[in-house]
């Protein structure tokens, strides 16, 4: 199928459908599937199809995520209709079309579950639903993991096939030579190469999980059914179905649990509006991607319009991301950015002040331009952008749901490194104090200001971490440079409800560099 994105992937959102437990969705699909199989009538199929369409609309599934079948798919259906008409007449063709419709409806409902459910929740939900089979000593957990891995592996396999096909088409042609690399690649060759690549990526992922302390459990915090699931199941099932699921789920329907708190944390940024400055690359890209994947509507801004627009287009495949290029070192561009955002949004939930610059030069020759450029962008522009957007932040803020300003500082604001980046060190130290000052003032308006002090992350400002991560890792207590998930965890946490009470503080995300003093003072260049 030709499509812009792989269909077997979650589409972020905060709808009623997204909030349902994965097990509830699977039970609903099973009930609808049984109903249409037992009663394969056009009215039943129409009702189920209507339910699927309405559910997709409620979930906010974008049209771009829906796969478009190729011409040969419709050609095969047409051939099937003609064949049935020839041998069984019009009634036979109608039976054939009804079977095709049934298959498409069941596939659509299954894909809808995947679109609205994190893949990490599928295996635990399957294991919980199949718990009674453990009395028969059946390997329930193994089955659940196998099914979940198949669902997760299919998008990877499709992507590999598309990449291999595209690479093959780019090879130069050589007519009349069957042994030339440009010769037509067989389907088995494509599948073999794709599976080999997918297995290699799986092995790398396994090693990464193990290195991060993976325990072998299905998930650290297994989700379970809640009140919304009771309502959904009562609508389509018998009255005693909630009781049965309560027994299977093993949790009370009432009060909050650790699982519920974890689910609330993951949903905390869905539906929020965020602006990430310096969002086209490096740390900015990592943070913008984290918010998009958590369901926020994200605006990114950067000085280079082409890079900003390109990333926004890429991230739009996973959610809503909009580019507003601007040079924040210019006051007129700050005003222009605030004005354009005001034309698009009435409020702003999250402002990430990440745009920054650095300048390195020996002490005796350090230029004035290197001082002014860094201090202006890293401190002055950050303050006036926050000031320009204060009305939007206050408009989104309340005592129960504060707005957030997150300033991206650096460990260079906490400890002296070996690099002669005098204005950068000074600007980041100033930013930490400015964070505390703004926090003390804006908390009265329910705007929470905090900061993050990243360590060695690959970026344009840190070419050593980008180009020589293995060498740099030797000077880091954690034994590695920062990953995307490391900064994503901090930025999502501060923007979520869990970070509402973190006022004026900074979170150091550096793998232990600062706390390993005096080693931190002797970081290699």
Catalytic residue set: 424
Distance set, CA 194 to CA 1, 6, 199, 200, 511 (Å): 17, 15, 9, 10, 35
Pairwise CA distance, residues 514 & 143, whole Å: 45
CA angle 493, 494, 499 (to 5 degrees): 90
* 373-376: long-range pairs with CB below 8 Å, 24+: 373/329, 373/423, 374/423, 374/424, 374/427, 375/423, 375/426, 375/427, 375/430, 376/329
**Side by side, which strands form the sheet with 506-509?**
320-323, 297-301, 273-277, 350-353, 403-408, 447-454, 506-509
Which helix (H) or strand (E) covers residue 432, if one does?
A: helix 422-442
Q: Is 70 exposed, middle or buried (0-12, 13-18, 19+ CB in 10 A)?
A: exposed
Distance set, CA 215 to CA 132, 206, 211 (Å): 24, 11, 10
The first and second tokens of residue 434, run together, are 């400015």
Distance set, CA 2 to CA 221, 289, 310 (Å): 36, 25, 22
To the nearest 10 degrees (0 to 180), the angle between helices 282-293 and 484-495 is: 60
Pseudo-torsion of CA 151, 157, 158, 160, nearest 10°? 150
Per the listing, tokens 């002669």 go with 420
Distance set, CA 516 to CA 212, 318, 477 (Å): 21, 38, 7
To the nearest 10 degrees (0 to 180), the angle between helices 42-59 and 22-38 is: 160
Pairwise CA distance, residues 374 & 269, whole Å: 31
Asked if 246 and 371 count as a contact pair (C-beta separation under 8 A), the reply is no
Go through 317-352 and write b for each residue having 16 or more CB atoms within 10 A of its CB, e for each that does not.
Answer: bbbbbbbbbbbbbeeebbebbbeebeeebeebbbbb
């Amino acid at each position: 199928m030709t499509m812009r994105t792989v269909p077997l992937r979650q589409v972020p959102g905060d709808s009623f459908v997204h909030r349902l437990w994965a097990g509830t969705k699977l039970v609903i699909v099973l009930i609808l599937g049984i109903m249409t199989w037992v009663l394969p009538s056009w009215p039943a199929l129409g009702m189920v199809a209507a339910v699927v369409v309405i559910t997709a609309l409620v979930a906010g599934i974008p049209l771009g995520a829906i796969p478009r079948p190729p011409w040969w798919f419709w050609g095969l259906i047409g051939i099937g209709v003609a064949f049935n008409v020839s041998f069984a007449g019009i009634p036979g063709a109608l039976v054939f079309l009804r079977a095709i419709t049934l298959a498409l409806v069941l596939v659509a409902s299954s894909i809808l579950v995947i679109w609205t459910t994190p893949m990490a929740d599928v295996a635990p939900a399957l294991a919980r639903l199949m718990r009674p089979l453990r009395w028969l000593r059946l390997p329930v957990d193994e089955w659940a993991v196998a099914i979940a891995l198949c669902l997760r592996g299919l998008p990877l396999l499709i992507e590999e096939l598309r990449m291999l096909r595209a690479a093959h088409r780019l090879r130069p042609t050589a007519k009349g030579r069957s042994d030339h690399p440009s010769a037509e690649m067989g389907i088995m060759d494509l599948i073999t190469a794709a599976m080999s690549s997918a297995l290699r990526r799986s092995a790398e992922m396994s090693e990464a999980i193990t290195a991060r302390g993976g325990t072998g459990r299905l998930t650290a915090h297994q989700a379970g059914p809640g009140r919304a699931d009771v309502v959904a199941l009562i609508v389509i099932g018998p009255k005693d179905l909630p009781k049965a699921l309560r027994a299977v789920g093993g949790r009370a329907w009432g009060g909050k649990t650790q699982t519920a708190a974890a689910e609330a944390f993951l949903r905390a940024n869905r539906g929020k509006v965020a602006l990430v400055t310096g969002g086209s690359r490096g740390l900015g890209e990592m943070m913008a991607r984290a918010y998009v994947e958590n369901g926020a509507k994200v605006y990114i801004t950067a000085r280079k319009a082409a890079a900003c627009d390109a990333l926004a287009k890429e991230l739009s495949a996973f959610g809503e991301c909009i580019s507003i290029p601007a040079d924040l070192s210019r006051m007129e561009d700050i005003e222009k950015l605030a004005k354009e955002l005001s034309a698009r949004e009435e409020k702003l939930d999250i402002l990430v002040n990440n745009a920054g610059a650095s300048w390195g030069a020996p002490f005796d020759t350090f230029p004035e331009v290197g001082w002014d450029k860094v201090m202006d962008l890293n401190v002055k522009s950050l303050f006036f952008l926050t000031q320009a957007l204060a009305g939007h932040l206050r408009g989104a803020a309340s005592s129960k749901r504060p707005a957030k300003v997150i300033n991206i500082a650096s460990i260079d604001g906490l400890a002296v490194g070996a690099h002669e980046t005098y204005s950068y060190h000074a600007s980041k130290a100033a930013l930490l104090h400015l964070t505390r000052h703004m926090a003390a003032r804006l908390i009265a308006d329910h705007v929470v200001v905090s900061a993050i002090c990243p360590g060695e992350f690959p970026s344009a400002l840190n070419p050593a971490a980008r180009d020589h991560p293995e060498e740099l890792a030797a000077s880091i207590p954690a034994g590695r440079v920062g990953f995307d998930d490391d900064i994503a965890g901090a930025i999502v946490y501060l923007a979520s409800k869990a970070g509402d009470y973190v006022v004026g503080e900074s979170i150091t995300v550096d793998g232990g560099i600062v706390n390993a003093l005096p080693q931190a003072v002797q970081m290699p260049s």
